[in-house]
Every structure is written in structure tokens, then in C-alpha cells.
């Protein structure tokens, strides 16, 4: 298939581009480069041995997106493009609603106009809000607790309404748990600008000596060691999930479905420190600080639906997540 990846130069988009190209699809990347660099496309090409077009474009430029859909005879879209920093979304809610919600509307209008009806959308486990039970299945009530999460929920609702209005749509909403790790080549990975907010990139910067120690946000949660528990998933497994979802959309009879993409296993902050130290031989000094506002104690997926319907299973273990993170961070190829 000819597949357009909006936000394709970003962290998850670049890994998905590799997987889709290696599965024989033609990928076209669309990105405004607000959180990525054009050079990533060369790196993707070094891995796949192919050249992939990059259209530097904002998804909110509807007419241009429409033109790109036509120009490359696009048959399916994976929509990664958007803003994702929770703290920033609290400070700048309008920027988030504009980029994420208006961006999705613009893309969907362009797709509708060009008759492209297959879409995979990047959602997040954040839409479950405070877990009422664990593991989280797709029927767990939703309720986002910050503007970023609310943009994802709004888009999910919009997609459900769109699918209800026109049953020819084939939409997969993927709720990612905590993506970490990097491609085994070390050529692409997660490279947040400034001080990272998320745990794994922060640990990697401590290991590299760029930050002095890790702050562990709270050790008094109702979890086995008191620190927060999450479902960390290797970004290459996540990328495979997109390939599986696109395959599924080709024979699915339902216009819109939601899938969790997680491993189903929860690891604490202290587990992650230990796993990283074991996998890399690096010491990660840490200090326990107060809880981070908005954090939940534990969050991990029930991934049975993706296993059953998409025939998708996460393959990578925690050690590989840590090793590949370190390989990318430390830059030895
Ligand atoms: P990322 O920032 O690395 O990638 C997003 C890409 O979209 C960037 O390259 C950015 O330049 C581009 N972009 C942003 N706004 C755009 C616009 N208006 N037009 C065109 N391009 C635009 O983020 P990521 O981690 O790869 O996340 C991809 C998607 O997955 C996002 O929608 C994010 O909300 C979602 N998600 C990410 C995580 C995570 O932990 N990384 C978890 C759950 C969901
Ligand atoms: C964060 C986002 C969430 C997003 C998810 C995807 C917040 C509040 N939530 O969730 O919307 O969908 O990433 O990856 O940002 N931790 C530390 N020290 C640190 C950083 C994190 O102890 O320096 C702890 C946290 O308290 C948490 C765990 O590590 O228990 C994971 O944190 P993080 O990587 O930020 O992910 P989430 O909180 O799950």
C-alpha cells in the first residue's frame, strides 16, 4: 500500500516507517518538523535501503495535505502528528487543541475529499485517566485529566462519530502505553529537546552524565516498592502494531475500533533503574522526591484484543528496551 505517515519524522513515526517499508509498503512522510529533524529521513533510508519522500507540511494545511494524498496515490494514513507534552498542554491548551484537534479535522477533511478512508490514529493510555481496575481493557471508562489527554479523547470521539456517519471508513485507534527504546541500528530513537519529562530518556541522560541523578517521583504509592508502575513497550513492537492494524483494516468489517498496545506487564521506577543498570553496566544515581502531580500509581494494559484481532504480540523484553535506548543515547553505531 501507499501509506502517508503524518508526524513521520518523529519518534514513533520514524520506527513505524522502517517497519512498514520493510513489510513492502511505500511510505511517504509528512511533518512540519516542529519536534524532529529532516535528517531522520536519511537515517530511515539507511536502515531500509530505500529513499522515502518527506513533505515538510503542517497537517492543518488542508489543501496541501489533499494534494499530497493525490500526488502519491495514498491508500491509508497513520496519523502521528501532534503535540504530546502534558505539562506544556496545561500552560498552552489552545496550542494543543489547535495542533491536535484542528490538525485531525484538517487531515480527515482532506482524506474525505480524496476518498481515502483507512486511518490508524495515535492515541494514548492517558485517555483512561485514573484506573478503576487493572489491567486496563478497551472498555475501561475514559476520562482524561489534562488538556493533552482531552485532545486525544476529543479526536477519538470525532473518529467514532465520523465512522458512524459513513460506514466505509476503516479506522483503528491505537492506545499506546509507554513507548521506549530505539531501533537496533542506533540510527533512530527518542531525542527530546531540553530536559526530558519521561522516565526512560531521563535515565539515559543520567547514564550519559548529562544529568546528575534521577528524581524518583514518589515512593509511597500502593505498589510493591512504592514507586509508580507502568507498561513499557519497545517502540519496534509498537511499530509492528501499526503494521498489524493496517493489515487488519484491509479485511475488517467494522468502521472504527480501539486497541490497546502494551505488553500487559507493569514495571516500577526502581525496576527500570535496575534493568537499565543491568543492561548497560551504567550506574543510575537517584533521589526520591515528592509525587508528580497528575501521576497515577499503576497503569498497564490488557492486550488480549490486539492479540486476538491483530495477531500482534510484543516481542521485546525490558533488557532490550534499555540496551537500545542506551545505544541510541550514547551514539555508538
Ligand atoms: P514526536 O513529537 O516525536 O512526533 C510527532 C511528530 O509530529 C514530530 O515529528 C512533529 O514535528 C510532528 N508534528 C507535530 N505537529 C505537527 C503538525 N501540526 N503538522 C505536521 N507535523 C506535526 O512524538 P511521538 O512520541 O513520536 O508521538 C507520536 C504520536 O503518538 C503523537 O500523536 C503522540 O501524542 C502519540 N503518543 C505518544 C506517546 C509517547 O510516549 N511517545 C504515548 C502515547 C501517544
Ligand atoms: C507520561 C504522560 C502521559 C503519556 C505517557 C506516554 C505525564 C503526567 N503523563 O505518562 O500522558 O501518555 O507519558 O509515554 O507526563 N518518573 C520519575 N522520574 C522522572 C520521570 C518519571 O520517577 O524523572 C516516574 C513517573 O512518576 C511514573 C513513571 O516514572 O511513575 C513513568 O513516567 P513517564 O515516563 O513520564 O510516563 P507516564 O507518567 O506514564
Is 148 known to be catalytic? yes
**Nearest-angstrom CA–CA distance, 241 and 175:** 11
What pLDDT is stored for residue 220 in this prediction? 97
What pLDDT is stored for residue 193 in this prediction? 83
Q: What is the DSSP letter of 99?
A: I
- Class of the CATH domain delimited by 2-181+232-262: alpha beta
Mean pLDDT score, 131-158? 97
**Nearest-angstrom CA–CA distance, 284 and 164:** 50
Q: Tell me the domain boundaries of the chain.
A: 2-181+232-262
**Nearest-angstrom CA–CA distance, 101 and 90:** 15
> Which residues, 6+ apart, have CB-to-CB distance to 66 below 8 Å?
110, 113, 114
DSSP assignment of 159-206 equals HHHHHHH-TT-EEEEEEE-EEE---TTSSS----SSS--SHHHHHHHH
Q: Is the pLDDT of residue 333 over 60?
A: no
- For residue 91, the tally of other CB atoms under 10 A from its CB is 10
Mean pLDDT score, 42-62? 98
Mean pLDDT score, 310-317? 98
Burial class (CB in 10 A: 0-12, 13-18, 19+), 160: middle
Instruction: Pull the grid cell for residue 212.
Output: 546528575
Instruction: Pull the grid cell for residue 104.
Output: 485531525
Burial class (CB in 10 A: 0-12, 13-18, 19+), 293: exposed
Q: Is the pLDDT of residue 332 over 90?
A: no
What does the pLDDT look like over 174-203, one tens digit per residue? 999 999 999 999 999 998 888 999 999 999
Q: Binning pLDDT at 50, 70 and 90, where does residue 210 land? A: very high
Nearest CA to ligand 2 atom 30: 228
Q: Report the percentage of the chain scoring pLDDT > 90.
A: 96
Helix H or strand E encompassing 261 = strand 256-261
User: 11 C-alpha vs ligand 1 centroid, how far in Å?
Assistant: 7
Nearest CA to ligand 2 atom 11: 126
Q: Pocket around ligand 1: residues whose beta carbon is below 6 Å from it? A: 6-7, 9-13, 31-36, 58-60, 80-84, 99, 103, 122, 124, 176, 179
Q: Pick from 247, 260, 307: which is nearest to 76 by CA?
A: 247
Q: Which of 148, 202, 248, 300 is catalytic?
A: 148
**Nearest-angstrom CA–CA distance, 199 and 103:** 28
Q: Pocket around ligand 2: residues whose beta carbon is below 6 Å from it? A: 86, 124-126, 148, 178, 197-199, 202, 214-217, 228, 230, 269, 292, 294-295
Contact 131, 123 (CB under 8 A): no
**Nearest-angstrom CA–CA distance, 170 and 40:** 29
Amino acid at each position: 500500500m501507499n501509506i502517508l505517515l503524518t508526524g513521520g519524522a518523529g519518534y514513533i513515526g520514524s520506527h513505524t516507517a522502517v517497519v512498514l517499508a520493510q513489510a513492502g509498503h511505500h511510505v511517504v512522510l509528512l511533518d512540519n518538523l516542529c519536534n524532529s529533524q529532516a535528517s531522520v529521513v536519511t537515517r530511515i533510508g539507511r536502515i531500509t535501503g530505500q529513499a522515502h519522500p518527506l513533505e515538510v507540511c503542517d497537517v492543518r494545511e488542508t489543501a496541501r495535505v489533499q494534494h499530497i494524498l493525490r500526488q502519491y496515490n495514498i491508500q491509508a494514513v497513520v496519523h502521528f502528528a501532534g503535540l504530546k507534552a502534558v505539562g506544556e498542554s496545561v500552560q498552552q491548551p489552545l496550542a494543543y487543541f489547535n495542533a491536535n484537534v484542528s490538525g485531525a479535522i484538517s487531515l480527515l477533511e482532506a482524506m474525505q475529499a480524496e476518498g481515502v478512508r483507512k486511518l490508524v490514529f495515535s492515541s494514548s493510555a492517558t485517555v483512561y485517566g485514573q484506573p478503576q481496575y487493572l489491567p486496563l481493557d478497551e472498555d475501561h471508562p475514559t476520562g482524561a485529566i489534562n488538556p493533552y489527554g482531552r485532545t486525544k479523547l476529543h479526536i477519538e470521539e470525532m473518529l467514532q462519530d465520523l465512522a458512524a456517519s459513513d460506514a466505509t471508513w476503516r479506522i483503528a485507534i491505537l492506545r499506546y502505553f509507554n513507548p521506549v527504546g530505539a531501533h537496533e541500528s542506533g540510527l533512530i530513537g527518542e531525542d527530546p529537546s531540553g530536559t526530558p519529562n519521561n522516565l526512560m530518556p531521563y535515565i539515559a541522560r543520567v547514564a550519559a552524565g548529562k544529568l546528575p541523578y534521577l528524581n524518583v517521583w514518589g515512593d509511597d504509592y500502593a505498589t510493591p516498592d512504592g514507586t509508580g508502575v507502568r507498561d513499557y513497550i519497545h517502540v519496534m513492537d509498537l511499530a509492528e502494531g501499526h503494521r498489524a492494524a493496517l493489515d487488519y483494516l484491509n479485511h475488517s468489517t467494522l468502521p472504527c475500533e480501539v486497541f490497546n498496545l502494551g505488553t500487559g506487564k507493569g514495571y516500577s521506577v526502581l525496576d527500570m533503574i535496575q534493568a537499565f543498570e543491568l543492561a548497560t553496566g551504567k550506574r543510575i544515581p537517584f533521589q526520591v522526591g515528592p509525587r508528580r502531580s497528575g501521576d497515577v500509581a499503576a497503569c498497564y494494559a490488557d492486550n488480549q484484543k490486539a492479540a486476538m484481532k491483530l495477531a500482534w504480540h510484543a516481542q521485546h523484553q525490558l533488557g532490550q528496551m534499555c540496551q537500545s535506548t542506551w545505544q541510541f543515547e550514547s551514539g555508538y553505531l
